[in-house]
Amino acid sequence: MSVLKISGGRELRGTARVHGAKNSVLPIIAASLLANGETVLHNCPKLSDVDAAIKILRHLGCSAERAGNEVIIDSRGLSRLDIPHGLMREMRSSVIFLGAMLARGGEAELSLPGGCELGPRPIDLHLGALRELGAEITEEGGSIICRAAKLWGRRVNLSFPSVGATENTMLAASLADGTTIITNAAREPEIWDLQCYLRALGVAVYGAGTPTVTVEGTKISASVSHSVIPDRIVAATYLAAAAATRSEIELTDVIPAHLSTVIEVLGEMGCDIRVERERIRVSSDGKLRAVRPIITGPYPGFPTDAQPQLMAAALKARGTTAFVENIFDNRYRHVGEMRRLGADIKLEGRVAMVTGARKLHGAPVTATDLRGGAALVVAALGAEGVTEISGVHHIDRGYDGLEDTLRAVGAKIERV
Ligand code: UD1
């Protein structure tokens, strides 16, 4: 098992390129089943979650090959409609294949994703929406079996703007008979990217980025190429790293508008942030101050996926910053590990009170989930001495070339 060894307390200077978004590429890989043709995905990050999605495609009888930053998929050979437990366990977001398998083949079987490191992750909204479109769903022995001789366009109202449920509904609706109108849809940029891909396939889908997404079902047989949007959470991680280390970093290949809440918080903390078309330059003189409460919420609210990394930056700020986590029940597992580095954090339910500006020191810590692990990297970069982070496989799910990128801007980080 490898660990990341970080010698902290160094200033970072230089340019870092932001890779393609994990949370965009995964639903688009599932959507490639609908194409019944070839999809070339550009800007596709090398991540263990992407490898797991590719394995699922191959299991289903499709071909999928990586060539550098491209993944080439041919979904004409689809020959099965089930995802076994082992593959589901490798990547819980594989539930996103449900809508695509059902639409393309009339049935789908997969084991329930169950709980994950962020707490219980129910899929009732996904299943409710698919039922609306005409699916019959049974749950037996930890598996869900969906069948639909035909899917029908319908009105689907989500009681919460779930990202995955919105995506699953969009996928199923793409091949349904008639028009589906999803209300209270998630508005995340990744929904917009999925819409772009579906449009390339010839589906009339509009409204992504607003609470109402409309999908006119159609027949698809298309070969297309698509370039994945930049990963806003990876960008937020590097911005937080600069803030925590009195550094100056320029991010390239990024869409600043997707990061407005994160940029606003870092600006309030005292970072100087300049935004150009596809670049963000951040500099920090190390004199950070606490900010008003950081409250996570569905987009355009503050992203839950950036909460841990910004908490790592807040550890360096004078005063107390409150964090309120509204999306996941169990998203403070990094807190115990941050305390090992000397952090002063009080936890009460959904609220974490972070008192910063204490001296952080290196220590052995464990990444317990993807973004919590990334936050430990940020905290370690801002701590004096050596931090060894184990549980690196969590971080590898979402960061392509993390060590190389950080080393290129002057960090002392190695995988041992
Ligand atoms: C996606 C992202 C994840 C991010 C999250 C919130 C991907 C692959 N993952 O996850 O990184 O943290 O959005 O921005 O894109 N819920 C239900 N029932 C459901 C579905 C969700 O109760 O059927 C609840 C969840 O338990 C959670 C909340 O809704 O509390 C948000 O979940 P959702 O938006 O669905 O997140 P994911 O799509 O799983």
pLDDT digits 0-9 by tens, 162-195: 999 999 999 999 999 999 999 999 999 999 999 9
Query: Are 284 and 369 found together in one domain?
Result: yes
CA distances from 36 to 94, 263, 306 (A): 19, 40, 36
Position 275 scores a pLDDT of 97
Position 296 scores a pLDDT of 98
Q: How far is CA 411 from the centre of its chain?
A: 24
Query: Are 264 and 400 found together in one domain?
Result: yes
Average pLDDT, the chain: 95
CA distances from 191 to 278, 293, 296, 345 (A): 20, 27, 18, 34
Do 404 and 15 touch, CB atoms closer than 8 A?
no
Query: Are 219 and 323 found together in one domain?
Result: no
Closest atom of ligand 1 relative to the 128 alpha carbon: 23
Q: What residues contact 259, with CB distance under 8 A and at least 6 apart?
A: 232, 235, 236, 239, 280
Residue nearest to atom 35 of ligand 1 (CA): 162
Range of the domain at 346: 4-19+230-415
Report the C-alpha gap between 114 and 258 in whole angstroms: 30
How many domains does the chain fold into?
Answer: 2
pLDDT higher than threshold 90 for residue 34: yes
pLDDT higher than threshold 60 for residue 415: yes
pLDDT higher than threshold 80 for residue 113: no
Domain boundary among 163, 193, 227: 227
Query: Are 13 and 37 found together in one domain?
Result: no
3-state secondary structure of 66: strand
Position 111 scores a pLDDT of 86
Q: Which of 22, 121, 132, 228 to mutate to test the pocket of ligand 1 (most atoms within 8 A of CB)?
A: 121
Q: Which two tokens stand for residue 146?
A: 């969906």
**Catalytic position from the list 62, 116, 146, 271:** 116
Query: Are 142 and 11 found together in one domain?
Result: no
pLDDT higher than threshold 80 for residue 85: yes
Query: Are 193 and 300 found together in one domain?
Result: no
Residue nearest to atom 21 of ligand 1 (CA): 162
- Of residues 105, 93, 77, 79, the one with CA closest to residue 28: 93
Domain boundary among 227, 242, 270: 227
Query: Are 165 and 275 found together in one domain?
Result: no
Phi, psi dihedral angles at 331 (to 5 degrees): -110, 30
Residue nearest to atom 22 of ligand 1 (CA): 122
Report the C-alpha gap between 98 and 147 in whole angstroms: 11
Helix and strand counts by DSSP (H, E) for the chain: 14, 26
Going by pLDDT thresholds of 50, 70 and 90, the confidence category of residue 120 is low
Is 116 annotated as catalytic?
A: yes
Looking at residue 33, its amino acid is L
Output the DSSP codes for 143-194. Answer: EEEEE-SS-B--EEE-SS--HHHHHHHHHHHHTSBSEEEEES----HHHHHH
Going by pLDDT thresholds of 50, 70 and 90, the confidence category of residue 159 is very high
Question: Running DSSP on this structure, what letter comes out for residue 341?
Answer: T
Centroid of ligand 1 to alpha carbon of 160 (angstroms): 10
pLDDT higher than threshold 90 for residue 255: yes
- What is the value of pTM for the model shown? 0.97
Angle between helices 163-174 and 124-132 in degrees, nearest 10: 20
Report the C-alpha gap between 336 and 11 in whole angstroms: 26
Residue nearest to atom 12 of ligand 1 (CA): 305
Query: Are 35 and 110 found together in one domain?
Result: yes
Give the pLDDT confidence of 196-229 residue by residue, as tens digits.
999 999 999 999 999 999 999 999 989 999 999 9
Task: Say what percent of the chain tops pLDDT 70.
Answer: 98
Query: Are 212 and 279 found together in one domain?
Result: no
Domain boundary among 198, 227, 256: 227
Phi, psi dihedral angles at 298 (to 5 degrees): -60, 150
Query: Are 26 and 140 found together in one domain?
Result: yes
Do 271 and 282 touch, CB atoms closer than 8 A?
yes
Q: Which two tokens stand for residue 369?
A: 């989930």
Helix (H) or strand (E) holding 388: strand 385-390
Centroid of ligand 1 to alpha carbon of 328 (angstroms): 8
Closest atom of ligand 1 relative to the 186 alpha carbon: 34
First and final C-alpha spacing in the chain: 9
Q: What is the CATH number of the domain that holds 41?
A: 3.65.10.10
Query: Are 57 and 69 found together in one domain?
Result: yes
Do 100 and 28 touch, CB atoms closer than 8 A?
no
pLDDT higher than threshold 80 for residue 115: no
Give the pLDDT confidence of 124-148 residue by residue, as tens digits.
999 999 999 999 999 888 889 999 9
Going by pLDDT thresholds of 50, 70 and 90, the confidence category of residue 114 is low
Query: Are 259 and 193 found together in one domain?
Result: no
Closest atom of ligand 1 relative to the 167 alpha carbon: 38
Centroid of ligand 1 to alpha carbon of 278 (angstroms): 27
Position 1 scores a pLDDT of 80
Q: Which of 118, 327, 397 to mutate to test the pocket of ligand 1 (most atoms within 8 A of CB)?
A: 327
Q: Which of 130, 137, 144, 162 to mutate to test the pocket of ligand 1 (most atoms within 8 A of CB)?
A: 162
**Pocket residues for ligand 1 (CB within 6 Å)?**
23, 26, 93, 121-126, 160, 162-165, 186, 190, 304-305, 327-328
Centroid of ligand 1 to alpha carbon of 115 (angstroms): 12
